[in-house]
Structure 1
Amino acid sequence: MSKFIHPLADVQSENIGDNTSIWQFCVVLEKAIIGNNCNINCQVFIENDVIIGNNVTIKPGVQIWDGITIEDNVFIGPNVTFTNDKMPRSKQYPTEFLKTVIKRGASIGANSTILPGLNIGENAMIGAGSVVLKDVPENTIYVGNPAKELIK
């Protein structure tokens, strides 16, 4: 099995799974782990303390910061914004960044913002443009700003 890394990508990690594609203008730092059969679209930045499972799709314009874990079969839409520090200040860094986990099978719609230290449950769906301020239970749909459960 092989992987595809576009010649215009800066992939420093050796931990890239089989059948994974990483497209142009991506940066993947040295300690990042990316599973098998992933599609990392153009203009994605992935920091060191990041784990990405198998069969994950990450659309363009996404930054995945230290402390973020994305489990298997997750979809991350274009320009999704993750955060890892509740009180960011220039040149002042926490001793450890907050951990965010996107559980297996979850989907996050375009332009959503995910605050730090949250869990997005298995098979949860986050609607486009949502701002997620709290954990999202499994098998639910959250939409809006702030994101709330969509009741059918």
Structure 2
Amino acid sequence: MGSRPGTGSPTARSPSHTYTSSPPRQPAALPITIQLPVSLVMATPLAQALHGHGPIADAAHKGLEVFASAPLHGGELPHLATPELAELIRPGLSTAQACLLAVASCHGLTKVLLSATDPAHWVNALAALDSEPLPPEHLRKILDVLNA
């Protein structure tokens, strides 16, 4: 099929396969991101990532972004976690800050999604995430304590 001059629309009479308009452009590749719930309650993805497998590790190996949602388990975790757990994770942090830091320390995660009910919660979350991530062996110890 050919085209009508200037229209780019095909005609049945012409044997040519040329078009007068430019060919359609390929869409730009969209970045692929996975998002999954990751918290000290939903710790399976954390544990798997520490062992080099599971959705976080697999996506990271493929160069994909991995977003952790619900790091405070819908706001419940600060009430479920104890001050002793926070002290084990990182002395001096609140339970919410410690739980956020534990999730953010998971190798392979690129973003932690959270919401806050007031500006003070944002400030506290940012303070926790500005500190050094936990080493993998320390995160393993925390998960072992939680599984005991």
TM-score (norm 1): 0.21
> More relative contact order in 1 or in 2 (CA 8 Å, sep 6+)?
2
Work out which of the two has the higher radius of gyration on C-alpha atoms and give 1 or 2. Answer: 2
How does the TM-score come out when normalised to structure 2?
Answer: 0.21
More strand by share: 1
